[in-house]
Structure 1
Amino acid sequence: MSREMGLTFQQYLTQLRLARAAQQLKTSGSAIETIAFASGFTSMRAFDQHFRETYHCTPRAYRDRG
């Protein structure tokens, strides 16, 4: 996978989880913590860190932007 996509499996999986979480943030009123855990993250710290690196804002700011 890393040759074809330029990502390790873990990086690819994290991207999928973040995309799912971002979609849920836009379309549901669920708590951010609930969305993070449902997307496969095991801690809010990890979710927040990866989300900020990818989307350049907090999950709450992303949701507020709509």
Structure 2
Amino acid sequence: MAKSRNNLLGVGGQRKKLSRAEQQGANPARNDDRKAAEDKKQELVRKMRERAAAAEAAPAQDAQAGS
């Protein structure tokens, strides 16, 4: 049987039932997970900026050394 465009029941999987407090973001474990993820992201961004700065400085040093 072909799927009707008007009846999308069951499409997209199931969602966890959230309490009212969880819907408002009062779940401490979730907040800790978000903070840990944000910390990892900040560390990664810092490392990427350091590498980019080092990569930009290296050609400038090579140009000065070759002169």
TM category, shorter:
0.3 to 0.5
Point out the structure with the larger helix share.
Answer: 1
Q: Rg bigger for which structure?
A: 2
The answer to which structure, 1 or 2, has the higher relative contact order (CA under 8 A, 6+ apart) is: 1
